[in-house]
Structure 1
Amino acid sequence: MSMVRFLVGLMFFAVSAVAHAQQTGGTLVIVPGYGEVKQANDEARATLMIEEQDKDKAAAASRVNLKMKQGTDIVRKEDPQAVLKTRGYYTYPVYADDPVQPRQTNRVRQPVSWRVGQYLEVTTPNLASLPKTISAAQRILALNSLHFGLTESTSKKLEEQRIAAAYRNLTDRIAAVAKAMGRNPSDAAIETVDFEASGAYAQDTAPAAKAMRAPMEVMQVEEPSFEPGETTLGMRVVGKVRFR
């Protein structure tokens, strides 16, 4: 008697499964996926700067030009692999802090001095000598910002791994969805795969450089310590799956 009940229950389960599969036949399912790879950073982008202030605008500009040339020559000597780019040359007046009297609102204020500065962007894959290079440059220039990332060649090499990881995650999710619907993963036919550039590999825009006084004296600077860290490259993918 128990065997009969078992067979009846088995038949009922089989019929229910077939009915459920028929109900989900032709269903279109949108399945998202995501994959990522991690890689140690192999490139540094440092921003060095110089700023001078003087009552004579020409004198301030002359010192900035001289020190920037000296600092650039130091970086080139310490790291021949570095790619250099000068940017952000600025000149603006500095006024006294004395308040303007109410009856003198139309008075043209005269600057008490001039502030002149310039930035030098250094991009290099030579991380081993980076502390030594920055230390040497800091004898004249100031370190304004430092960011680590991946070289273009490394990013290209990781592209295939990033795509494969995203697609593998998508197929795993499709199998999980099929199981939840009581279907066989082989019943799922992928109609569309949309690889979406998520932008996760792009480095954040560097913050705007803040003006700061550079040291007036040339002196020996101890080497700084840097930890390049790693970068995570991610990719999103969306699949349209139809069950037979």
Structure 2
Amino acid sequence: MKKILGLFLFCVLTASAHAQQMNAGSQVLVSGRADIKVVNDQAVISFYAEEVDKDKTLAATRVNQKMKTSIEYIKQKYKGIELSTHNYHSSQTYEEVASKNANGMPIVKQQANGWRVGQYLDLKTRDLKNLPAMVAYLQKTLALNNVRFEVSDELSKRVEAERILAGYKNLNERIAMIAQAMGRQASDFIIDSVDFEGGAIDRSPDRTYGRFFTSTVSNVRSDKIVEPDFEPGTSVISIRVDAKLRVK
């Protein structure tokens, strides 16, 4: 332990001596960082419709009808919801048919027996209060693919000032620590330039990310879907501030 402490003191004294020998005009690069935790205020929900039929036209018609009915319901019932459809697809389905080859040996062949048609519908909304009822209703017609929660652009703009101030504060704290480690004062450094977007804005969900689950209720009718429970969780909005310092 004494050897480790001695080595540490030696390194500190060496760094301090070197720092004091730095010529005026020498440059030092410093980065600060801040993480702002924000409650998610927006949900992105993905549904899909899929039908299988021997007749491709019939399968496509049923998918189209499901999508049309669902979109019309959302537009009439709710306001401010962004809708987008994507990944409209159709492909043949196959079944295995047993047969024999020219030598009489049993083989299995893939034989087309129908068509699979599907389409996805994505919704983006900040109306989290009515989200459970909307999701439960749409599940009567569409299949739920996934739900995720995030920070909206509007909320991100509102916390922009807090994000910048926190990043700049951390930068100054690091400058003070570096100056102390180098045996100098923070006032010995002049800031030549500051980049508030040294790193891309990160809105990564933290460990309390949004999730949902459906309650289990006994003696519920088969045609009634219980509303899911949602917990939007939080996200972390980060910033990195890079500064170029010059020794006086």
Same topology, TM > 0.5: yes
Alignment partner of 1:237 out of 237, 241, 244: 241
Question: Superposed, which structure 2 residues align to 1:197-236 within 5 Å?
Answer: 197-201=199-203, 219-236=223-240
Q: 1:62 to 1:19 in 2, by over 3 A?
A: closer
The aligned residue for residue 164 of structure 1 is: 165
> In the alignment, what sits opposite 1:13?
none
Question: Which secondary structure does the structure 2 equivalent of 1:197 belong to?
Answer: coil
Query: How many Å apart are 1:223 and its aligned residue?
Result: 0.3
Retained in 1: the 8 A contact 2:150–2:235?
yes
Aligned partner of 2:49 in structure 1 is 50
Higher percent of residues as strand? 2
The answer on 1:149 being equivalent to 2:150 is yes
Q: Kindly indicate whether the alpha-carbon contact (under 8 Å) linking 2:97 and 2:111 is maintained by their aligned counterparts in 1.
A: no
Where does residue 75 of structure 1 map in the other structure?
74
Shift of 1:134: 0.2
Match of 1:126 in 2: 127
8 Å contact from structure 1 (residues 78, 133) kept in 2: no
Q: Which amino acid aligns with 2:191?
A: I
Which residue type is aligned with residue 234 of structure 2? E
Which residue number in structure 2 is paired with residue 209 of structure 1?
A: none
Residue segments in structure 1 that go unaligned for 5+ positions in a row: 1-17, 204-217
Other-structure match for 2:88? 89
User: Are 2:22 and 1:24 aligned?
Assistant: yes
Residues 61 and 116 of structure 1 are in contact (CA less than 8 Å); yes or no, is this contact kept in structure 2?
yes
Identity of aligned residues (%): 39
Give the RMSD, CA atoms, in angstroms. Answer: 2.5
Gaps of 5+ in 2: 1-15, 103-108, 206-221
Aligned-partner Cα distance in 2 for 1:81–1:156: 19
Q: In 2, distance between residues paired with 1:239 and 1:51?
A: 54
Higher CA-based Rg = 1
How far has the Cα of 1:20 moved from its partner?
7.0
For 2:199, the aligned partner's letter is A
CA contact under 8 A between 1:87 and 1:120: conserved in structure 2?
A: yes
User: TM-score of the superposition, structure 1-length normalised?
Assistant: 0.78
Question: Would the alpha carbon gap of residues 111 and 171 (structure 1) be closer, same or farther in structure 2, given more than 3 Å must change?
Answer: same
